[in-house]
Structure 1
Amino acid sequence: MAQPNPVKVLEVCRVAPPPLSPDSTTPKSLPLTFFDMLLLKFPPTQRLYFYETSHPTTTFLEVVVPKLKRSLSLTLQHYIPLAGNVTWESDYSKLIIEYVEGDTVSLTIAESDVDFYGLCSDYFREAQNFNPFLPCLVGLETRVPVLALQVTLFPNVGFSIGYVVHHGVLDGKATTMFMHSWAFICTHGEYSTLTPELTPLYDRTLIVDPSNLEMTYSNFWLGRDGPDKKSLALRDRKAPPDAMLGTFLLTQEDIENIKHGCGFGGKRSNYKNHPFTYHPLQ
């Protein structure tokens, strides 16, 4: 017997960036590079962020959600390609990320009575329990959106923001930049200016491809689909029933022990002051 859906969808809306000003330098179209083509048909990347808050449903829908929508729209003006689609040029010769005036990002607003702290705790949980809090990236055979978002409220306890992004367009650093930019604008208001480290760079001329790897990867992926070689359809990546998810917390002392204990072939490394960095997951 099928289990009831633990999430109640309250709204599915489309969020668009503000109209671009005539002097905007953000491109509406970008070619895919060999870095992008390498991951063209990988399953979309998914992530969930959890936030504690005591807002009841009414306050959340009337105060928080409008602020999230507005700040998302303002953030997209800096990340225009995220509101666009992966598609073909008109002659089907090259793949591009294209934004057309009127393109939007799908945003689902939902509510759930699932145990909030059970989802964001540190012990092992069934990975499939997170599936209902992640949106779907729904597209056409020759046109696939870059980004979809879902905000789920756990009344009086907290809320989550889940995203799914096209892996051929965004890597972990780029999606983290986008989420930090959204948080920055949501916190500082619509007249705030993004800091340099949150401002994306779109200059593709910086990427040199003397071996034409872009074409090599393109031929590999598009040659795997038989007669329908132009299909851009992505595989779903929902967690299977037998998968488990756990969180491992490392203290500063743990990090130092790993740093000094790393070796090769079971022997302690003789290298001193080897560069080592770590970043907290947020």
Structure 2
Amino acid sequence: MASNNSVNILEVCRVNPLPSSLASATPSSLPLTFFDILWLRFPPVERVFFYETPPTNATFLNSIVPKLKHSLCLTLQNFLTLAGNIIWPPESHKPIISYKEGDAVSLTVAESNANFYHLSGNNFVEAVEYHPLVPDLATSHEHAPVLALQVTMFSNCGFCIGITAHHTVLDGKSLTMFRKLWAHLCKLGGNALSLVPELIPSFDRMVIKDPAGIEAIYLNQLLNLDGPHNKSLKVWEQKTPPNVVRGTFELTRTKLEKLRQLMTSILGENNNQEQPVHYISKLTLTCAYTWVCLAKAERQRVNNLICLWINADARPRLEPPMPDNYFGNCLTGCAAIAERNDLLGEKGVAVAVKAISEAIRSLDYVVLKGAENWLSLLLNVKKDNISDGVPEIAGSPRFELYNTDFGWGKPVKVELISIDKTGGICVSDSRDGTGGIEIGLFLKKREMEVFASVFAKGLEVL
């Protein structure tokens, strides 16, 4: 029995898609679009779901794990490429996702002696403590697996499910489709696809248009990276910075509504009533408030202008709009920019709301503006250590993470592990399901303590 820090590996198995006529409608290979190629060398997405279902060893191994395996087999009928690999055939001008019979998803079964309630609570936790709970996605220069899973039991407390997914193959919305269908089939048992048609993916790559030749630009940059004709598929290994902790915070529905009223009033006054203030979404309010608190926690930094990168779903913004169930990457983004002194001022949150709102609205008109430069920008950030770069908003409350019920109740905690390597502020629905938004981030411990104090103090006046 091997060990990995506080985790003992009980089994590593390969889960194949269950043979079915449904699988014949699922493509066994897919070309990458420029939306996908953008992420070819970047670290995978890692997420962990904690479930407080105290199992015995026998229950875990004889009931929970077999149900997860069987429902995974059923789910993969509709997601064959998740069991495959990314390859770059010699005759192909670009990489492809390839599935062949016998390919499978790696599923690790483990047990941990770590404190379940410490990891699944809202206290500060050293970032590296979560790493043993997500499986590695071992890539090489020749091929890269798409998905790896891990189920870890905590003695008499509960268990967690760790998901590691290659960003080149899917974005958050696509991963949500897979996760929801897997949970649905596990909870209900059998094949209940007719109940969830919105979770059946569309793999039609013809809907992606590239009149500006963005794909060719990205491929040329990758082929000339670290030497000519470089077709390497090995992802860069990003290190978690030392002495950083993860923290979880929440803006409740009530606080968000009070914050909206305050911001609408302030922006209305500043606007001199020349035009009505647009409705301010919960997500915009959350991003703005978090951005300001972060600026105050990192007060020692001296940059005049600071930036917040916001990822957004491009599916509804493209012309014509893409199917909501399109499977793959389809992300765009925008930068909100403000002067640090303005964010630190009395009306800092209103300044942040305005900057974020204007950035998001710009996507409705220029959804792919500057897309030809996205990869070069990411490469420059990576070169300078991506975790110290511009903070970005990752995740979305629309993913409904806390509704992920495999049959043993909803998760008590969900963590996006990969943000401590790639940099980011994770936003999601709140665990109590009352309409609030949960925020997850990582900082050095002292900065996290200042952030927590500023975050709490600002809410006292609402």
- Distance in 1 separating the partners of 2:4 and 2:186: 34
Q: Which moved more, 1:121-130 or 1:254-263?
A: 254-263
User: Are the structure 2 counterparts of residues 37 and 68 from structure 1 closer, same or farther at C-alpha, using a change threshold of 3 Å?
Assistant: same
TM-score, normalised by the number of residues in structure 1: 0.91
Task: Give the 5 Å matches for 1:128-139.
Answer: 128-139=128-139
1:276 to 260, 281, 287: 281
Task: Give the 5 Å matches for 1:77-92.
Answer: 77-92=77-92
- Distance in 2 separating the partners of 1:22 and 1:78: 7
Structure 1 residue runs of 5 or longer lacking an equivalent are none
- Distance in 2 separating the partners of 1:21 and 1:169: 24
Task: Give the 5 Å matches for 1:163-242.
Answer: 163-193=163-193, 195-227=196-228, 229-237=230-238, 239-242=240-243
Secondary structure of the residue aligned to 1:161 is strand
Residue 113 of structure 1 aligns to which amino acid in structure 2?
N
Residue 118 of structure 1 aligns to which amino acid in structure 2?
H
User: Are the structure 2 counterparts of residues 262 and 134 from structure 1 closer, same or farther at C-alpha, using a change threshold of 3 Å?
Assistant: farther
Residue 169 of structure 1 aligns to which amino acid in structure 2?
V
Residue 204 of structure 1 aligns to which amino acid in structure 2?
R
Task: Give the 5 Å matches for 1:107-122.
Answer: 107-122=107-122
Matching residue of 2:143:
143
Secondary structure of the residue aligned to 1:150 is strand
Structure 2 residue runs of 5 or longer lacking an equivalent are 284-396, 398-428, 432-462
> How many residues end up aligned between the 2 structures?
277
Paired residues of 1:44 and 1:236 also in contact (CA < 8 A): no
Q: Deviations over 1:30-67 (max 9, x none)?
A: 11001101111111111111111011111110111011
Q: Which moved more, 1:254-263 or 1:128-137?
A: 254-263
- Distance in 2 separating the partners of 1:134 and 1:111: 12
- Distance in 1 separating the partners of 2:171 and 2:73: 21
Secondary structure of the residue aligned to 2:250 is coil
Paired residues of 1:112 and 1:154 also in contact (CA < 8 A): yes
Paired residues of 2:86 and 2:96 also in contact (CA < 8 A): yes
Give the C-alpha shift of residue 171 in structure 1.
0.9
Secondary structure of the residue aligned to 2:49 is strand
Residue 267 of structure 2 aligns to which amino acid in structure 1?
R
Secondary structure of the residue aligned to 2:212 is coil
Q: Which moved more, 1:149-158 or 1:220-229?
A: 220-229
Residue 115 of structure 1 aligns to which amino acid in structure 2?
N
- Distance in 1 separating the partners of 2:205 and 2:129: 39
- Distance in 2 separating the partners of 1:4 and 1:150: 13
Matching residue of 2:17:
17
Task: Give the 5 Å matches for 1:18-167.
Answer: 18-21=18-21, 24-167=24-167
User: Are the structure 2 counterparts of residues 65 and 4 from structure 1 closer, same or farther at C-alpha, using a change threshold of 3 Å?
Assistant: closer
State the Cα RMSD in Å.
Answer: 2.1
**Bigger radius of gyration, 1 or 2?**
2
User: Are the structure 2 counterparts of residues 211 and 174 from structure 1 closer, same or farther at C-alpha, using a change threshold of 3 Å?
Assistant: same
- Distance in 2 separating the partners of 1:245 and 1:29: 38
Give the C-alpha shift of residue 90 in structure 1.
4.4
Give the C-alpha shift of residue 100 in structure 1.
0.8
Higher relative contact order (CA 8 A, sep 6+): 1
Give the C-alpha shift of residue 29 in structure 1.
0.8
User: Are the structure 2 counterparts of residues 262 and 239 from structure 1 closer, same or farther at C-alpha, using a change threshold of 3 Å?
Assistant: farther
Secondary structure of the residue aligned to 2:47 is strand
Give the C-alpha shift of residue 260 in structure 1.
4.1
Secondary structure of the residue aligned to 1:249 is strand
- Distance in 2 separating the partners of 1:16 and 1:157: 30
Paired residues of 1:108 and 1:150 also in contact (CA < 8 A): yes
Residue 143 of structure 2 aligns to which amino acid in structure 1?
R
Give the C-alpha shift of residue 79 in structure 1.
1.0
Matching residue of 1:251:
252
User: Are the structure 2 counterparts of residues 262 and 30 from structure 1 closer, same or farther at C-alpha, using a change threshold of 3 Å?
Assistant: farther
- Distance in 2 separating the partners of 1:80 and 1:6: 33
- Distance in 1 separating the partners of 2:90 and 2:245: 44
- Distance in 2 separating the partners of 1:185 and 1:238: 36
- Distance in 2 separating the partners of 1:4 and 1:110: 10
- Distance in 2 separating the partners of 1:281 and 1:217: 37
Give the C-alpha shift of residue 259 in structure 1.
3.5
Give the C-alpha shift of residue 155 in structure 1.
2.1
Paired residues of 2:23 and 2:80 also in contact (CA < 8 A): no
Paired residues of 1:134 and 1:163 also in contact (CA < 8 A): yes
- Distance in 1 separating the partners of 2:26 and 2:119: 38
- Distance in 2 separating the partners of 1:75 and 1:221: 33
TM-score, normalised by the number of residues in structure 2: 0.57
Residue 255 of structure 1 aligns to which amino acid in structure 2?
L
